[in-house]
A and B are shown apart, each in its own frame.
Chain A
């Protein structure tokens, strides 16, 4: 199976870990099916809670798995790229939460690019993450970390009327974006109640090249609000993004810089597309 897949899908994707299920949804004694990179998978949990994942089309061969950051991760190729670190999960006083999973008919890179985008806040997340006429995207910085090869956007600032569940008023919110994986993106943003930053991440499961399960992972400095309130907040936000994402076409992200029309505010999106090209990613994208 891997050989045939390897002909079509570059190792930059095939050899990486991808999330396939929230751990809290894996119940002992149950079999769950899903798809990853177009391959059907069966996830079986025995009575003792041991998880085995197999490809439906080549049963008997157990796939390598990892349980981390609230999700079960699977690798369909050679698992020689370690899963990225999120050091904040080990900090005291943080709340770690799987906020929800939403199926979206779009490629993973389109979803990541949307997650990296501040300019849509006043129009798509009106009166929550942005409000008119505060529409300007101020200059920010983008770099690739030479050690980890993570893509970073730093010094991002945006006016937000209600940045988090703990907000009581509007604030100029500081953002840092980190892309440690072609289909995963982490946002660090000003906490209304702590000097440290909230961590909000999107881990996409590439079900197919134009369909994802979008997993929202949180590592928050919020010990006040109920889990359901925090989940509802995140689901509200993502529910606003979904119709936009599903009306983008082509659904795969074009990597040719002239295929769409970037502006200065899209600096991180431009860099993300180039970063994907440099990695050799050929799934969920239209290569340049």
Chain B
């Protein structure tokens, strides 16, 4: 009896390597796969755009496994409170408990890179280099005259044994060349019939079975699940013509292998499980944000086309990544143009479409040059600088029915909203007012809304007013209105909604041309006692924003005044508390301020920073 003497897995090295964590079949459409790598639980899911997400399997809110949630095809929805996380970026896009708020960008899940190769999904914590190339598998793929890239993934098995022990035993594993497998499922004695050669590397064993002229090679990839648990993922280096028989043979041979290695593993010294928590704290995204918050993003124009008469659409992709920052429906980006011109454009994407941003620009010869420059001077392949998305027009999703009213180019945020409502299975009607039928932007999307899309073409201002009056004739507690368009139209909608008795909080506007909304909040200064700095906090900026832009180190997490992470000590002055973290006596004492939301009642605060 062999008593296995097994070295423990070198975890630090393993963290730098790519490992298979699922098969391509495990990430079927709209499914969620729960896996584990080096002690860390992960959730693996494929979005409808084909992208395979590998995330920490934990909702940032209360630690519930995301793998028990649902995959909408574009977002992952937590089962507990239905927080929605976007494909690719893993940023939170909606928190139903607070329908009127846009989630802080810091609420972004931990993601891992993913690669699909040899029928497997590969990921890594901190990869040095690429997914391993296995020449025998690459040759099979090249030689396959049918033109498919099929190598045959054999049944995967999980074993209660460490990777070193599995590798050691796999080197002794036996199977038959595919051509000599009989129809019997009894793999007993005839396994000895083939000659075996083994090639063992760090996480892979390649075995070749030879019998006469028949030869088959199987590559066994070994996934380190935990210190004493592994998954063996075998791939047959041939294009199988009778896969059922081959699969059955290998499954039976591996079942014997599992019994044998698990009894060997039971005799080795127990190994402590690997730490389940990631070494990086959950608040890590906040730190990243603190550094990169205001830095512009460099994007490339992947596609430019005329989506409607006088309206150019642009599809922007990140230059150095396959993912752009998370946005919510209603969000816009700043586009930086030459001469210091900055223009805001709404993102028209549907939920979870974080591989690109699509914006639409109407040519306005009367403008100071922004739209004309984009129309005439920016072409496919050109580089642009944009801001991260901001949302001053958040879409509430707690009403059964939403009426979207668009005037001209003001349709852009509403098109994003219509797609989000559609994905949320909420009712909506999109009314789109234009002068001419050829001015309807993104007509292919509009068509996809079916009967929920209504165009209103060539109406005079009076007729438009009549139509809006008809649309808003029956205020209902179950309905809400979102409108965006030229200011005169919005003014008319506002007064019609008032006349018809709509409550103010059920009707929402974005004054499309008034994009620099001015925050009415106070301005004051902060003295930082320890840093010796005096900084101005302008309206529209939080203390936290100002500290960050001046490189004063401060950590934050929720940025909603709920978690207390960004608290600072107040030495002088009276805070205007707007958080929910501090208790009444702490508020009254005034010694602490949450810098993300709270301000000053007076003109000056002295902080112990």
- Asked if A and B are interacting partners, one says yes
Contact B64 A262 (CB under 8 A): no
Contacts of A257 in B (CB 8 A): 557, 563-565, 581
Contacts of A262 in B (CB 8 A): 61, 558, 562-563
A133 to B399, CA, bound (A): 6
Select one of B277, B397, B555 contacting A258, CB under 8 A.
Answer: B555
Contacts of A132 in B (CB 8 A): 96
Select one of B65, B107, B560, B583 contacting A264, CB under 8 A.
Answer: B560
Closest B-chain residue to A266, C-beta based?
B562
Give the distance to chain B from A113, nearest Cβ to Cβ, in Å. Answer: 8
Contacts of A124 in B (CB 8 A): 79-80
Given A122-B82, A123-B79, A258-B555, A264–B561 Cβ distance below 8 Å?
Answer: yes
Whether a CB of chain B sits under 8 angstroms from the CB of A243 is yes
A136 to B94, CA, bound (A): 12
Whether a CB of chain A sits under 8 angstroms from the CB of B276 is yes
Closest A-chain residue to B396, C-beta based?
A136
Contacts of A247 in B (CB 8 A): 64-65, 68
Contact B97 A265 (CB under 8 A): yes
Given A120-B80, A247-B64, A263-B560, A258–B282 Cβ distance below 8 Å?
Answer: yes
Select one of A136, A244, A271 contacting B97, CB under 8 A.
Answer: A136
Contacts of B62 in A (CB 8 A): 113, 248, 260
Contact B580 A120 (CB under 8 A): no
Whether a CB of chain B sits under 8 angstroms from the CB of A250 is yes
Whether a CB of chain A sits under 8 angstroms from the CB of B398 is yes
Closest A-chain residue to B78, C-beta based?
A123
Contacts of B63 in A (CB 8 A): 248-250, 254, 260
Contacts of A254 in B (CB 8 A): 63
Contact B565 A263 (CB under 8 A): no
Max count, chain B CB within 10 A of own CB: residue among A120, A258, A261, A263: A261
Contacts of B80 in A (CB 8 A): 120, 123-124, 244
Contact B565 A244 (CB under 8 A): no
A267 to B99, CA, bound (A): 17
Contact B276 A249 (CB under 8 A): yes
Contact B60 A135 (CB under 8 A): no
Whether a CB of chain B sits under 8 angstroms from the CB of A137 is yes
Contacts of A230-288 to chain B: CB distance below 8 A: 243-244, 247-250, 254, 257-267, 270-271, 274
Whether a CB of chain A sits under 8 angstroms from the CB of B426 is yes
Give the distance to chain A from B196, nearest Cβ to Cβ, in Å. Answer: 42
Contacts of A137 in B (CB 8 A): 97-98
Give the distance to chain B from A248, nearest Cβ to Cβ, in Å. Answer: 5
27 A-B residue contacts at CB 8 Å? A123-B79, A123-B81, A135-B99, A136-B97, A136-B98, A143-B583, A244-B68, A244-B79, A244-B80, A247-B64, A247-B68, A248-B63, A258-B555, A258-B563, A261-B60, A261-B557, A261-B563, A262-B61, A262-B558, A262-B562, A263-B97, A263-B98, A264-B580, A266-B562, A270-B564, A270-B580, A270-B581
Closest B-chain residue to A268, C-beta based?
B580
Give how many B residues have a beta carbon under 8 Å from the other chain's beta carbons: 42
Select one of B426, B561, B563 contacting A133, CB under 8 A.
Answer: B426
Contacts of A144 in B (CB 8 A): 583
A218 to B68, CA, bound (A): 31
Give the distance to chain A from B545, nearest Cβ to Cβ, in Å. Answer: 19
Closest B-chain residue to A137, C-beta based?
B97
Contacts of A26-49 to chain B: CB distance below 8 A: none
Give the distance to chain A from B437, nearest Cβ to Cβ, in Å. Answer: 34
Give the distance to chain B from A170, nearest Cβ to Cβ, in Å. Answer: 13
Contact B68 A261 (CB under 8 A): no
- In the complex, per-residue mask of A101-144: 1 if CB is within 8 Å of any chain B CB, else 0: 00000000000010000011011100000001111110000011
Contacts of A143 in B (CB 8 A): 583-584
Select one of A119, A123, A249, A263 contacting B562, CB under 8 A.
Answer: A263
Max count, chain A CB within 10 A of own CB: residue among B558, B564, B580: B580
Contact B563 A120 (CB under 8 A): no
Contact A119 B60 (CB under 8 A): no
Contacts of B564 in A (CB 8 A): 257-258, 270
Max count, chain B CB within 10 A of own CB: residue among A123, A247, A270: A247
- In the complex, per-residue mask of B62-78: 1 if CB is within 8 Å of any chain A CB, else 0: 11110010000000000
Contact B97 A135 (CB under 8 A): yes
Contact A136 B61 (CB under 8 A): no
Given A258-B281, A262-B558, A264-B561, A135–B96 Cβ distance below 8 Å?
Answer: yes
Whether a CB of chain A sits under 8 angstroms from the CB of B58 is yes
Given A124-B79, A124-B80, A257-B564, A133–B558 Cβ distance below 8 Å?
Answer: no
- In the complex, per-residue mask of B545-583: 1 if CB is within 8 Å of any chain A CB, else 0: 000000000010110111111000000000000001101
